[in-house]
Amino acid sequence: MVLSKKRARHVIEEIIALFPDAKPSLDFRNHFELLVAVMLSAQTTDAAVNKATPDLFEAYPSPQDMAMAGEADIAKYISRLGLYRNKAKFLKKCAQQLLDDFDGQVPQTRTELESLAGVGRKTANVVMSVGFGIPAFAVDTHVERICKHHDIVKKSATPLEVEKRVMEVLPPERWLPAHQAMIYFGRAICHPKNPECDHYPQLYNFKDI
């Protein structure tokens, strides 16, 4: 049974209240580094990405530098990450696209971001919201699991259906705080196995809602 909009919002707002200061856990200093870090984070922990990116960014601080590099050279810096060969290929091609199509700048619209090699909807949403402050809601494995576990969406919901549901339930200014808080909540409390959500009864206090 999927929760009503009011009850779904209550659950999400309580999650935000548990982690009110949640910030992006990927390390970056500019839009290009953010884009690269989010691309690298697919099927890899943010902590692992943060170990790889300092040397990577020192070697290739700009799209120009990365576009000129060989795939094998890029791969050396990210070889401890999952799917690193594919990611190296995407990084090089993406950097070249930034030069060819966007004057070396990271674009701000979803359509333009998704035109880049290796960039899907989730990555585009993170770059838009975290990098440019444009309201968007990114759905990762934590967000999807939490929304299904807490009946914010049906168990069979796709990532896009999860995204649309949360955007429907919350006002735009709450999308980014919700995304960040859900990541922390998923890591610390709503685990894939043996979730500890029952220790937080405020999530389910639906009296008068």
User: From CA 88, how far away is CA 94, in angstroms rounded?
Assistant: 10
The catalytic residue positions are: 122, 140
Could you tell me which of 191, 166, 180 has the C-alpha nearest to residue 5? 166
Cβ neighbours around 61 below 10 Å, total: 14
Burial letters 185-194, b for 16+ CB under 10 A, else e: bbeebbeeee
DSSP state of 128: I
Residues 6 or more apart whose CB falls under 8 angstroms from that of 179 comprise 129, 137, 138, 143
CB of 22 closer than 8 Å to CB of 177: yes
